[in-house]
Structure formats: structure tokens, C-alpha cells
Amino acid sequence: MHRRPPGSSLTAVRDLYREVARGATARPLVAASWQRSIEHDVKPGRLEAPYTENLNLDSPLTRAALPVLNALHEQLADDPVSTMITDRNGVVLTRRVSHDGLTTRLNSVQLAPGHVFSERYVGTNGIGTALASGHSVTIAGAEHYAEALRAFHCAAVPILHPIRRTLLGAFNLTTTRQESGGMLMALARSVAGQIEAEIAALASRRERALFQDYMEACSSVRPGAVLALNRDVVMMNEQLSAAVTGPDLYTLLDCAREVADDLRFEGTRTLALPSGRVAELRVSRSRREESDAGAVFRVRLAGRPQREPAPAAGGTRPGLGLVGTSEPWRRSVGDAEAALLSGAWLHLAGEAGVGKGTLVKALHRRHAAGAPLATLEPPPSEAPSAVEPWLRDLGDLLDRPSDVIVLRDVHLLSDRLRRRLRDALASRDRSATGQLIMTSQPSMVAPDDPLEDLCDVSVEVPPLRRRPGDIEQLVRFFLLKYRPSGESSCSSEALATLQGCPWPGNVRQLESVIRDLARRPSGRIIRAEHLPPECRVSSHKALTAIEALERDAILRGLLNRNSNVQRTAQDLGISRATIYRKMRRYGIVPSSLA
Ligand SMILES: Nc1ncnc2c1ncn2[C@@H]1O[C@H](COP(=O)(O)OP(=O)(O)OP(=O)(O)O)[C@@H](O)[C@H]1O
């Protein structure tokens, strides 16, 4: 983990940390959180919770939580207690408080919707520490890392998906009362439990609705091949499972998932399958009680399977379905392909959104489609209760020699867990073990990383800014994908702007920009002035998701205020010095926005 050299203010914080850690009532969870806050270089004397406007209030978490919060709010009446829901990144999604004094105090410390209260920005606090540790926590008064928060007492409980057990966010109670620690936590746990139960009830209603629509489609007069899915469930009838198998099935499922996620898509999607056949998917949405339960597809197949194309000598093979012909991209595809074919263990490094997952799926489809491909995310926390089952799951997956296992985002594992993993994997008999592919973000894994030695081959997937030559093809590909009628194109000026962008979110970010542009109500040609603010920055620094949100909030603010920095800073509730610092950091030049 990145550590800063000690400075005078840091020394003061360390002293304070020692006090907190050694105090008679100091708790290990709080001490560990202070340690992380120091490592994140959070300044205790300056509270800066970044702000974002784009809150997702239409998620299963918020749909389940809002009625529970509203009912609780009525009961709490004028008590100086505030209730909040955050997403998994610590962004406050919604807050309930009716006590005027408390409202003012919470606003003065930015504990309000849109602000990010992760430990990374704010240091030890109920929300951030619950999310980082995966445990319910109370953070009382001086246990807060930021001085401005030390008048508050918080109890926060992580909220997990009831089936997948992945982290969705947190429920947090904040008060200025001194005495309420145990009671506060009991209440927080009970409310979080109600929210999780409501999420489970919503999921089961959703699954029942999807099943009903699927059965209706299957029992219609001429049913044919039918598929129904949402993020948790896939159902298909016999006609489909007999007619589509192997790579064709994986491609069909990928496309169906994408369509199911695109809530606005209605109608028919035509898809070329790897075998050379064409599938036509007629989509109907499954909706109940105003919410989306998934999608049902009637599938029609046309054409005959063709023979596989012969492998090309070196470089990328045609027919992988990957867009891009630039030299760095082709080299990484070729190297990864050679590694997969030789059965080597592969470390695939690349910034977020460069296409690591897409590349693995394409290669697997082409070369190992008969073998299952399993993907394992890092454990939700490093507590033994999360790590032990995770290691067991990995062991079980590796026990199947014909499988390909993708261990995603190994940079998120602590040094300790990385060493444990290395020891566990190094002792395995490779001939009786599945093929392992690890992915990571390059700047976050040192060359002497313990896991690096385990892999036989290491391939870096280049960031999009290092292959601007691929942008034109990707734009065309995404325009066709999101406007299949093919009536959109990009002016040369807009294309040049896109080619000059830093693309910190890489192909994923380009795809999302083109998707939004393709959905514009009118206009065949995309011109430079149609491009969103994020395409008008010149910094080549890779940003985290939260930083990107912050950057976009600043860009939008500047656009609204005709590039007036002072007024934008006021709108965002940050100082002039802070906005200038952030603009420098994000490469924002206000004159380019005018
Ligand atoms: N060469 C490509 N051709 C077509 N689409 C691509 C290509 N590369 C990436 N994409 C698209 O970009 C998005 C991001 O790609 P992907 O999820 O594979 O990135 P990643 O490197 O695995 O990211 P992360 O590590 O953040 O999960 C996907 O929607 C994918 O479809």
C-alpha cells in the first residue's frame, strides 16, 4: 500500500492515532480504520467529502430502503437523529432528518445526499468504516478521524445482497446525543435487517414475475426457442438448449444480458453467432409494480453453422469479435491468446475498462468454449469470515482441471492475503488444476508482487489513450450497436476530439459516451459540440469512479456558470483554492468549455 513520508501534520495525526489506539476503550476496528485513514493521507483538519449529482435512486437498495426509512422517520419525529442510506462507495443516497438544529449541523459537515463518506476521503466515520471493514460499527465522538465530525455519534451497518451476499451499501444513524451507543446500534441493525428482508422480497417477486412471463411465452401457440433472464436467473426451454450450444450459446447469453440491462430497449435484436448462424431475438420486458423483472426473448435461428476459420499465424485471429487493429492492442490479444492455448497461468494487467474481461471471454469462446469459465471477485472484506470461504471457493474451482478461472482485481487484495494466496497456489499440482487467469490494474501491483511469480505469462492490455488508432473503429462499432439502423456517424472534428481524449475509463467510458449520443432524439451526425464535458479534458491521469464523478460535477458546474470558477466553487460548496487544485488535477481548462 502507498505510504507517505512523515510530515509535521502527519506526525501530529500519528500521535493522536497512538492516543486513540492505546486508550483504555480503544477498539481494534477503530485503530485499524485510523491506520487506513493515515495511509489514504486524509487531512483530519480539513473535511472534504467529494460531491456528485448523479445519484442512482432507482436501485433495488433504494427501492427497498425508502419505505423503511420513511416509516422510521415518522416514529423518530423531532428526535435529533438522522437516518441515511449510502451506496457501496459511501455516496449518501438519501437522508431523513426532521430536527432543524441537526439538519444544519449535518449540512455544515457535508453529511448530505451526494457527498461521499468513504474512509478514503473522510477518514474514520460510521459509513466509511462499516463499508471498508464489512462490519457494523459505532463511531463515537473523538473516534472520528476528521475533527469536524467529532461532535457526532454514528452507527452504521453494511447492507448485503440477500442472495449474492455482495455489498450494496450501508444504513447509517447519526446523532449528537452522547449516551446512545448500544441503543443506536440495536436500532441500526434492526433497520438494516428490515431493508435486507425487503430487498429479498423484491427479488423474489421479481423472479416470480419473470417466471410467469417465461411460462407464458413457452406455452403460447407457437413457442419455439425461449430464453428469460435477469441479473440473477437464466431460464431457457428445451428447444433453445438443444439448438444453441457452446460458443453460440455464450454469445447469445452475453447479448441477451446486455439487452436485459438496457431498460429502454424494446423490439428485435439481430446477432451474428460465432458458428456463422444468425439469431434474431424478439424482446419483451417483464415488468411488475413499475419495476423491471428482466426480459423474455423469443429466439429465431437462421443459416447453417460454417466451418471454423483456420488459425492465423501470429497476431490476433479473425473472428474473435474484438474491435481494434492497432499494434499494441493486437500484440496483447496475440500474447494472451498464445498463453491461453499453451495452458499457462496468465496475469492480465490493464486499467479499468480496457477490455480485459472482454478479451478473456472472446478467447475462451474461441478456444475453450467446452470448458466452464468461472470468475471470482475479491472477497467483500478481509475478515476471516469472508476470506476463508473465498479461499475454499477458489480451491474448489481450481480442483477442476478443465476449467478456466478468472481471479479478478487481485490488486484489491491486501499484501497479507496476496502472500497467503501465493502460498496456497504455489503448492498445487498444475496438471490437476484448472487454468488460472488473474486480472489487475497495473499501477497497483508492484513488479515484485508475490502473485506475479505464480503466473507463467504477464500481458498488459494497453489503455485506450495509447491506441487512439482504434477509436474510430470502436466508435463505429458502438454506434451500430446502440443505433442498429446505422443512420449515425461522427464528424471528423468530433472524431479528432475523441481521439485526443485521455479516456481514464478506457473503452468502457467511450462506450458509455457513444451510447448516450446514440440515444439522442434527433440528429444523424455527431458533432464536436454534442460531445459531453468529459471529452473536453486534457489530463491523462487514470481516475477512480468517484474521482470521475467529481470531475464531471466540476465540468458541469463550469458549463452552467459559463466557466466562472468562483461561482462554480460556490455552487459545489468548495473553496476557490480547492476547485483550482482539483481542476489542475483533472486537467480542466475553463476556457476550453466556453
Ligand atoms: N475490443 C473491444 N471491442 C468491443 N468492445 C470492447 C472492447 N474492449 C472493451 N469493450 C467494451 O468495453 C467495456 C469494458 O470492457 P471490460 O469489461 O472487458 O474491461 P475490463 O478491462 O475487464 O474492466 P474492469 O477491470 O474494470 O472490469 C465492455 O462493455 C466491453 O464490451
Ligand 1 pocket list (CB less than 6 A): 322-324, 350, 352-358, 439, 477, 507-508, 511
Q: What is the DSSP-derived secondary structure letter of residue 450? A: T
Asked, for residue 573, whether it belongs to a domain, the answer is yes
For residue 316, tell me if it sits in a domain: no
Tell me how far the alpha carbon of residue 418 lies from the centroid of ligand 1, in angstroms.
25
Question: How are strands ordered across the β-sheet holding 167-175?
Answer: 92-96, 81-87, 167-175, 153-160, 137-140
pLDDT, residue 507, reads 94
Residue 172: inside a domain: yes
Mutate to test the pocket of ligand 1, among 507, 509, 511, 515 (most ligand atoms within 8 A of CB): 507
**Which contacts qualify for 219-225: CB closer than 8 Å, 24 or more apart?**
223/298, 224/298, 224/299, 224/300, 225/298, 225/299, 225/300, 225/301
ipTM of this predicted structure = 0.98
CA of 470 to the centre of ligand 1 (A): 13
User: If pLDDT is split at 50, 70 and 90, which confidence band does 567 have?
Assistant: confident
Instruction: Give yes or no: residues 37 and 147 share one domain.
Output: yes
Instruction: Centre a 10 Å sphere on the Cβ of residue 521 and count the other Cβ atoms it contains.
Output: 4
Give me the amino acid identity at 7: G
- Sign of torsion, CA 89 546 565 561? negative
Split into its structural domains, the chain has a count of 4
Planar angle of CA 382, 383, 388, nearest 5 degrees:
90
Q: To the nearest 5 percent, what fractions of the chain are helix, strand and coil?
A: 50, 15, 35
d(CA 594, CA 589): 10
- The answer on 268 and 165 residing in a single domain is no
Among residues 420, 438, 462, the one where a domain terminates is 462
The residues facing 231 across adjacent strands are: none
| β-strand pairing of 404-407 with 435-440 | parallel
Closest ligand 1 atom to Cα of 352: 26
Ligand 1 atom nearest to 329, measured from its CA = 1
50 lies in the same domain as 175: yes
Least confident of 132-136, 206-210, 264-268, 298-302: 264-268
Cα 124 to Cα 126: distance, rounded to the nearest angstrom: 7
Share of residues in the chain with pLDDT > 70 (%): 85
Whether residue 568 sits in one domain with residue 422 = no
546 CB-near residues (< 8 Å, 6+ apart): 50, 52, 89, 91, 116, 118, 120, 121
CA distances from 374 to 151, 367, 408, 414 (A): 47, 15, 10, 22
Look at residue 318 and tell me whether its pLDDT is greater than 70.
no
Q: Which of 142-151, 371-380, 476-485 has the highest mean pLDDT?
A: 142-151
- pLDDT, position 159: 93
CA-nearest of 165, 163, 89, 101 to 127 is 89
Within this chain, do residues 568 and 492 fall inside the same structural domain, yes or no? Answer: yes
Residue 465 has pLDDT above 70, yes or no: yes
Q: Which atom of ligand 1 is least distant from the CA of 507?
A: 12
Reported confidence tier of residue 174, pLDDT bands at 50, 70, 90: very high
More confident residue, 444 or 1: 444
Q: What is the pLDDT of residue 447?
A: 60
Which atom of ligand 1 sits closest to the CA of residue 350?
21
Atom of ligand 1 nearest to the CA of 358: 18
Is the pLDDT at 223 greater than 80, yes or no?
Answer: no
d(C-alpha 44, C-alpha 39), whole Å: 12
pLDDT-derived band at 82, boundaries 50, 70, 90: very high
| Beta bridge partners of residue 437, listed in sequence order | 346, 406
Compute the distance between CA of residue 375 and CA of residue 215 in angstroms, rounded to an integer.
30
Domain carrying residue 298: 220-302
**Domain-embedded: residue 208:** no
- Tell me, yes or no, whether 3 lies in a domain: no
Same domain for 346 and 263? no
237 versus 429: the higher-pLDDT residue is 237
Contacts with 346 (C-beta within 8 Å, 6 or more apart), sequence order: 336, 339, 340, 435, 436, 437, 438, 455, 456, 457, 458, 459
Averaged pLDDT, 100-124: 91
Residue 8 has a pLDDT of 40
Q: Which of 261, 262, 282 shows the shortest CA–CA distance to 270?
A: 282
CATH number at residue 439: 3.40.50.300
Is 29 within the bounds of a domain? yes
Q: Which pLDDT score is estimated for 2? A: 36
Instruction: Give the mean pLDDT of 334-352.
Output: 87
Which residue from 333, 356, 439, 508 has its CB within 8 A of the most atoms of ligand 1, so it is best to mutate? 508
> What's the alpha-carbon Rg for the chain, to the nearest Å?
26
| pLDDT score, position 309 | 40
Q: How many CA atoms within 13 Å lie on the side-chain side of 450?
A: 15
Q: Which candidate, 590, 589, 549, 592, places its Cα nearest to that of 572?
A: 549
Asked if 459 contacts 339 with a C-beta cutoff of 8 angstroms, the reply is: yes
Summarize pLDDT for 523-553 with one digit per residue, the tens.
Answer: 678 888 788 877 766 555 556 667 767 777 7
Query: Do residues 341 and 452 share a domain?
Result: yes
pLDDT at 450: 74
Q: How far apart are CA 539 and CA 123, in angstroms?
A: 27
Residues 580 and 527 in one domain: yes
User: End of a domain among 201, 228, 254?
Assistant: 201
For residues 257 and 168, state if they share a domain: no
DSSP 8-state code for residue 468: G
Contacts of 537 (CB under 8 A, 6+ apart): 501, 502, 551, 555, 586, 587, 588, 589
Q: What is the mean pLDDT of the chain?
A: 81
Neighbours of 66 (CB within 10 A): 17
Domain final position from 442, 462, 482: 462
Cell numbers for 345: 497461468
Residue 507 alpha carbon to ligand 1 centre in Å: 6
State phi, psi for 557 to the nearest 5 degrees.
-60, -45
| Helix, strand, or coil (residue 397) | helix
**Alpha carbon of 360 to ligand 1 centroid (Å):** 10
If you measure from the C-alpha of residue 476 to the centroid of ligand 1, how many angstroms do you get, rounded to a whole number? 16
More confident residue, 14 or 249: 249
Quote the pLDDT of residue 207: 85
Least confident range of 161-165, 292-296, 538-542 = 538-542
Whether the per-residue pLDDT at 444 is higher than 70: the answer is no
Residue type, 331: R
Integer Cα distance of 111 and 104 in angstroms? 10
Decide: pTM greater than 0.80: no
Distance 509 CA to ligand 1 centre (A): 9
CATH number at residue 82: 3.30.450.40
Return the pLDDT at 592: 44
Helix (H) or strand (E) holding 556: helix 545-560
CA distances for 189 relative to 87, 138, 330, 456, angstroms: 17, 11, 52, 46
pLDDT per position as a tens digit, 230-275: 877 889 998 898 888 776 787 788 788 888 887 778 888 887 777 7
d(CA 409, ligand 1 centre) in Å: 14
Most confident of 55-59, 496-500, 507-511, 530-534: 507-511
- Provide mean pLDDT across the span 53-66: 84
The confidence score (pLDDT) of residue 542 equals: 57
Q: CA 102 to CA 278: how far, in whole Å?
A: 61
Inside any domain, residue 211: no
Among the residue ranges 124-138, 218-232, 306-320, 353-367, the one predicted with the least confidence is 306-320
Give the separation between CA 492 and CA 498, rounded to whole angstroms: 10
Distance from the Cα of residue 547 to its chain's centroid:
13
162 and 23 in one domain?
A: yes
- For residue 270, the cross-strand partners are 280
pLDDT of residue 430: 78
Cell 477512480 belongs to residue? 544
> Are 73 and 94 spatial neighbours (Cβ–Cβ below 8 Å)?
no
Q: Give the per-residue pLDDT at 4.
A: 38
The answer to whether 169 touches 134, Cβ cutoff 8 Å, is: no
Cβ(318)–Cβ(308) under 8 Å? no
Ligand 1 atom 16, closest CA:
355
Residue with cell 438496457: 262
Q: How many CB atoms lie within 10 A of CB 570?
A: 15
Beta partners for 404?
Answer: 373, 435
pLDDT at res. 5: 37
**What was the pLDDT predicted at 111?**
94
- Check whether residue 486 and residue 343 sit in a common domain: no
* Ranges 158-162, 534-538, 561-565, 578-582: which has the least confidence: 534-538
pLDDT the model gives residue 312: 35
| pLDDT at residue 129 in the model | 94
The predicted structure's pLDDT at residue 469: 86
Task: Check if the beta carbon of residue 158 is closer than 8 Å to that of residue 170.
Answer: yes
* Strand locations in 121-197 (E): 137-140, 153-160, 167-175
451 within domain boundaries: yes
Find the CATH number of the domain harbouring 271.
3.30.450
* Half-sphere exposure (Cβ direction) of 423: Cα atoms closer than 13 Å: 5
Q: How confident is the model at residue 3 (pLDDT cuts 50, 70, 90)?
A: very low
Looking at 16-20, 59-63, 144-148, 300-304, which range is the least confident one?
16-20
Task: Mark whether 194 and 226 lie in a shared domain.
Answer: no
- For 371-417, the pLDDT digits (tens) are 788 899 998 888 888 889 999 988 888 888 778 899 998 888 888 88
Measured distance CA(526)–CA(285) in Å, rounded: 30
Specify burial of residue 43 (Cβ count, 10 A radius: 0-12, 13-18, 19+): middle
d(C-alpha 202, C-alpha 288), whole Å: 10
